[in-house]
Amino acid sequence: KMLQDNLRNKENRTLQKFDEQNKYNTGIKQLFEIMRGEQKIDNLSKKVITFLAEFVDAKSGAIYLLNTETGKLELEAAYALD
């Protein structure tokens, strides 16, 4: 009985890891689809942060880009930061 329980637990953990890996692989494919093609950086940034925040169930998120003239980070897109 104990051996069966241990095997069942191990099988459940393996299946859970497989499901998590499958979720992330699917997410990567979806993100690549969002990023495909020529897009303006502001539109692309907004799409990317929205997808990532929703994918990881974040309450908020932001993308900052480096302004090469000033050397400072500038907010490019935000999710739920209003």
Read off the pLDDT of residues 41-80 as tens digits, 9 standing for 90 and up: 999 999 999 999 999 999 999 999 999 999 999 999 999 9
Kindly state the average pLDDT of the residues 24-28: 93
- 65: which residues sit within 8 A by CB, 6+ positions away? 41, 45, 73, 74, 76
Residue 44's pLDDT is 95
**Alpha helices, DSSP H, located in the chain:** 2-35, 41-55
- 60: which residues sit within 8 A by CB, 6+ positions away? 53, 78, 79, 80, 81
Residue 39's pLDDT is 87
Whether the per-residue pLDDT at 1 is higher than 80: the answer is no
Task: Tell me if 77 sits within 8 A of 63, measured CB to CB.
Answer: yes
Encoded tokens for 63: 């993308």
H/E stretch holding 63 reads strand 61-67
- pTM for this predicted structure: 0.74
